[in-house]
Structure 1
Amino acid sequence: MQDAKEEIRARLPIEDVVSEYIELKRSGATLKGHSPWGVDKTPSFMVSPDKGIWHDFSANKGGDIFSFVM
């Protein structure tokens, strides 16, 4: 099972998946957008393509590509 997850991570960039749900804008090495779980006035949702992770500061959630879509 772990090998399948690693293959998906390698073939499918997290920013491609997240951008299907959230408009993302580049900010240095990260991408920023508004939280899909609440109302925020400034972008509080961050994606780190290099690390393959996301974090939503307004909802205090984070994870990888799988935790985002689950």
Structure 2
Amino acid sequence: MIIPDAESIAQARSIVLAALSEAHAKHAGRGFDPYEFGADVSPLVNAYAALTILEKEEPSELAEESSPED
């Protein structure tokens, strides 16, 4: 497992936020169906949450979780 650094996490978060903004603009422009919007953005929200968790984890904790146990 590759342990991301803070800069790459921040870059990934900004990409996810841009995709969320784009999805909102797309749905707002053609009429807003909350169920369709939710289905389209839920993977992005999950990705943003995962990146937030990664950002808060200590690098040593991530390394321990990824190391195989003998």
Q: Which has the larger radius of gyration?
A: 2
**Higher normalized strand content (fraction of residues):** 1
Report 1 or 2 for greater relative contact order, CA contacts < 8 Å, sequence distance ≥ 6.
2
The answer, yes or no, to whether TM exceeds 0.5 is no
TM-score of the superposition, structure 2-length normalised? 0.28
TM-score of the superposition, structure 1-length normalised? 0.28
